Amino acid sequence: MSSFKQEYEHGIATNAIVPDPAYKKAVDALDRLGIDLERASKPSSLFERFEGKPETRGVYLWGKVGRGKSMLMNLFFDYVPEPRKRRIHFHAFIADVHARMESSGKTSSSGGSIASAAESFARDVRLLCLDELEVTDIADAMILGRLFDGLFERGVTMVATSNEPPDGLYGNGANRDLFVPFIERLKERVSVVEIAGDHDYRLGEEDETALYMFPVDRENSERFERLWQKALGGAPERPEEVTVHGRGVTYLRTGNGCLRVTFGEVCGRALSADDHLALAHRFGTVFLENVPVIARDQEDEARRLVTLIDALYEAKARLLVLTEVEPHDLFEDGKPDDHRRTASRLEEMRNARWSSCMGTSGRAR
């Protein structure tokens, strides 16, 4: 039994983890991987010196939002005895890869640049735990195949969570036929496990609306303002520039480690996922106001809101929202998995249990 499974069973025994039959296959797969990694870290036997160590197969967990995928992966990451490990959100991973490609000195579109990024990453990481894997950008789709070939060849083992099975990745993307070979290679390198439970564990039992205010009326606007002044703690408001890849983005209202922005400032202009990641890591508390219902034809705005909430969630920032509707009514379509994930994360971030574990800066204690 791996260290991960021992801790998982301890969590159930102490009521820290809610037992769910839907977890069984995922727990078994992660337990197997934990044992394999422990064996791989031991000195080679005489047979292995001649034949080579057996390949360590990763795990790919997929299912609907809020089913416990990230919880299981995080528990595995915390307790697997692998010193060269990294847990990272997919958006942050892609940003890291692009940065490594740029620093390689080769053109960003070249195979050499991708190989250099893979080699650089593999020097630092033996176990890669990748959260919320999704492929929506054609440039990323074209990079991933060669990148992961390079990572796998260099002995990197991957654990990933996703809302989609491998065959559903980049489902309607342009030139998808060029992406399909990567899917087939991915399935050879990981055990694919669906977590098919019906309960969304991100939905709290309490109706805590302290951090999520709707509609945008006088009462909520005044309350939002009072909370902003309290967060400032007497510090003056001032503009601040956040630099990403040599390009500065100026936010006009900051103070005491807090940021106040409108939906238009962060989702209505051409900010990237990298900009949102930098924002989330710079400010512990974010006040987001005037969030409208996002129409079907506002694809760019919808995508930016998704990446913003993902970034803030991963950074464990404290988020206060002033909007027109409940989280699950924010998107007119309400159908794509990333929209449902955003609504689910907003539900969790508005909950008193999320807020109570945050310090004054908004970071988890």
DSSP string, 317-361: -EEEEEESS-GGGSBSS--SHHHHHHHHHHHHHHSHHHHHTB-TT
Q: Mind listing the pLDDT tens digit of every residue in the chain (365 residues)? A: 889 999 999 988 987 788 889 999 999 999 999 999 988 766 554 444 444 455 689 999 999 877 888 889 988 998 998 899 998 888 778 888 888 888 766 544 455 688 899 999 999 899 999 988 888 778 888 888 889 999 999 999 999 999 899 999 988 888 888 889 999 999 999 999 999 876 656 544 433 346 899 999 888 899 899 899 888 877 789 999 988 887 889 999 998 889 999 999 999 999 999 999 999 988 989 999 999 999 989 999 999 999 999 999 988 888 999 999 999 899 987 667 889 899 999 988 887 556 544 444 444 43
Cα–Cα distance list, 75 to 14, 20, 97 (Å): 15, 15, 25
pLDDT at 333: 76
DSSP per residue over 36-88, as a string? HHHHHTSPPPHHHHHH-PPPPPEEEEE-STTSSHHHHHHHHHHHS--SSEEEE
Is the peptide bond preceding residue 215 cis, with omega within 30 degrees of 0? yes
Cα dihedral value 58, 63, 69, 73, nearest 10: 10
Maximum Cα–Cα distance across the chain: 75
- pTM exceeding the 0.75 threshold for the entire prediction: no
Are the beta carbons of 63 and 18 closer than 8 angstroms? no
Q: In the chain, what is the straight-line distance between the N-terminal and C-terminal CA atoms, in Å?
A: 31
Euclidean distance between CA atoms 91 and 109, whole angstroms:
19
Residues in the chain, how many? 365
Residue ranges, comma separated, of all CATH 3.40.50.300 domains in the chain are: 3-194
Please tell me whether residue 140 adopts helix, strand or coil conformation.
helix
Architecture of domain 3-194: 3-Layer(aba) Sandwich (3.40)
The CATH number for 212-356, chosen from 3.30.450, 2.40.128, 3.40.50, 3.30.519, is 3.40.50
Q: List, in sequence order, the alpha helices (H) in 80-204.
A: 90-103, 111-124, 138-153, 180-189
Q: What is the pLDDT of residue 136?
A: 78
pLDDT for res 5: 93
Q: In angstroms, rounded to a whole number, what is the distance separating the alpha carbons of residues 203 and 79? A: 26
Cβ–Cβ under 8 Å, residues 309 and 331: no
